[in-house]
Amino acid sequence: MSSKHGMAYLVNIPARNAYLERLYSEIDGAGSVATRRWYKGLKKQILSLEEHPNRCPVTPEKKTVRQLLYGHKHGVYRVIYRVFEKKRVVEVLHKRHGARNKFRTAELE
């Protein structure tokens, strides 16, 4: 896929990161218009990393990974990802509610 500024990055969301899909099911996403809108917005933000992956700050836990924050107040979610510049790949490592404890460094490998 091309963009105005060169080749876009490939956003890789591994199958092990099924957290959002589970969360969506647990909070009855299919039955809630607001939840569906929130979920689609989060996915859109994750996929927007294909154009500007370095726009988000590095994590406090590890300077080689970045975090995308999505949501407001108590509903903020952190999407932790790593950018491989040479391969032009964004690899999503974790997604979790922002109020949860920080990641252990081993989780960000």
> For residue 90, what pLDDT band results from cuts at 50, 70 and 90?
very high
- Domain containing residue 100: CATH number: 3.30.2310.20
Cα torsion at 56, 58, 16, 22 (round to 10°)?
-60
Q: What is the count of structural domains for the chain?
A: 1
- What is the span of the domain harbouring residue 36? 2-108
Q: Would you state the pLDDT for residue 4?
A: 47
Q: pLDDT digit string (tens) for 9-36?
A: 999 987 655 666 776 666 665 567 877 7
Residue-wise DSSP of 24-50: HHHTTGGG-HHHHHHHHHHHHHHHGGG
The predicted pLDDT at position 2 comes to 39
Q: Count Cβ atoms within 10 A of the Cβ of residue 10 and give its class: 0-12 exposed, 13-18 middle, 19 or more buried.
A: middle
CA angle 86, 87, 92 (to 5 degrees): 115
pLDDT in tens, 30-62: 567 877 788 788 889 999 999 999 999 999 989
